[in-house]
């Protein structure tokens, strides 16, 4: 296996087109009744791949990067992911942090309630996040905790191939957005420019392609005041300029969600997706959700917005 390539990655040495050697898609619709021919399933796959390739060529591809990308890049050799990088793990890490730091008594009733949410009521994650944010703000530890989680994350990158792929697509004209707080696409590894949603001029330049980099839709740990963590933060975004920028991109570009397969387990992605699809679905015919495992996105528990996306299975292919 090539260096920097996880065990479940396919390696290919043949020179094919950018997307063909970066991404292989298999539509979930290939899981069709037996009466559907393989030829038809292949045709659908090829059409969708061609649509994404064309969007890249004409500079109309937007890639929204979720937590799954960071989790994959920093996984251990055995395939285990860093617990604090999942949404549940992040909140749990923060709750443990305020106790270890001596800011909150381990028997505090709000702390116990937040932990109960994590253990038994994950649908109320934003409430647990609100409690954590309250604790950290009271202790003046919000920026310190964010840095503790994300500041040295670049040292944990073991499989950078997924980062290289997305940077290469950026270099070919794709626009990169992320709901992640880390800096792996900036000084942490890829050396792209970090673009804040609260910086008016940079936001407009990014939208018009006069400024290249990666847009942090929900903030970066470098800018703690920008971070979107709880319900109150999400309400602020609803009234901000980023909403107009996203609507413009949603209407004019092909959108590819990568590393977002966990869906509504990550409120960051869930809130963004719900907003993006809260209008007539016919206005957004070019949105794709890329995932490794169909079981993570199928099922009655997912939102209408989640199920309305075109689902694509993928595996990354890299040169040795």
pLDDT, tens digit, 9 for 90 and up, residues 210-236: 999 999 998 999 999 999 888 788 777
Residue pLDDT, tens place only, 16-74: 344 544 444 444 444 444 445 667 767 777 788 888 899 999 999 999 998 889 999 99
144 to 150, 151, 152, 287: CA distances (angstroms): 10, 10, 13, 37
Nearby residues of 234 by Cβ (< 8 Å), 6 or more positions away: 126, 228, 267, 271
For residue 109, the model assigns a pLDDT of 94
Helix/strand/coil for 151 = coil
Coil, strand, or helix at residue 26? strand
Poorest-pLDDT segment among 12-16, 145-149, 301-305: 12-16
Question: Are 284 and 249 within 8 A, CB to CB?
Answer: no
Q: Which tens digit of pLDDT belongs to each residue from 111-163?
A: 999 999 999 988 888 899 999 999 999 999 999 999 999 999 999 999 999 99
Q: Give percent above pLDDT 70 in the chain.
A: 70
Domain range list for the chain:
20-79+156-318, 83-153
Longest dimension (CA), the chain: 64
pTM of the predicted model, to two decimals?
A: 0.81
Pairing between strand 194-196 and 310-318? unpaired
């Amino acid at each position: 296996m090539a260096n920097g390539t996880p065990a479940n990655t396919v390696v290919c040495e043949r020179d094919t087109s950018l997307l063909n050697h970066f991404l292989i898609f298999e539509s979930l619709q290939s899981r069709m009744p037996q009466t559907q021919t393989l030829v038809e399933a292949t045709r659908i796959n090829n059409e969708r791949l061609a649509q994404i390739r064309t969007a890249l060529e004409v500079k109309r591809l937007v890639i929204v990067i979720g937590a799954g990308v960071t989790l994959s890049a920093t996984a251990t050799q055995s395939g285990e992911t860093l617990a604090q990088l999942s949404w549940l793990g992040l909140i749990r890490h923060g709750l443990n942090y305020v106790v270890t730091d001596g800011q909150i008594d381990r028997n505090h009733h709000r702390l116990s309630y937040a932990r109960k949410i994590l253990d038994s009521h994950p649908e109320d994650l934003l409430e647990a996040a609100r409690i954590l944010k309250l604790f950290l703000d009271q202790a003046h530890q919000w920026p310190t905790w964010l840095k503790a989680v994300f500041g040295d994350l670049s040292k944990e990158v073991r499989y950078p191939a997924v980062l290289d792929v997305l940077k290469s697509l950026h270099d070919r004209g794709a626009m990169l957005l992320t709901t992640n707080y880390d800096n792996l696409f900036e000084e942490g590894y890829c050396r792209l420019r970090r673009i804040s949603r609260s910086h008016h001029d940079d936001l407009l330049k990014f939208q018009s392609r006069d400024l290249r980099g990666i847009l942090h839709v929900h903030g970066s740990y470098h800018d703690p005041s920008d971070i979107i963590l709880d319900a109150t933060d999400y309400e602020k975004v609803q009234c901000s300029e980023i909403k107009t920028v996203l609507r413009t991109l949603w209407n004019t570009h092909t959108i590819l969600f990568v590393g977002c397969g966990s869906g509504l387990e990550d409120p960051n992605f869930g809130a963004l997706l719900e907003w993006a699809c809260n209008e007539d679905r016919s206005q957004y015919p070019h949105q794709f959700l890329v995932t490794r495992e169909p079981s993570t996105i199928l099922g009655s528990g997912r939102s209408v917005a989640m199920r309305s996306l075109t689902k694509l299975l993928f595996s990354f292919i890299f040169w040795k």
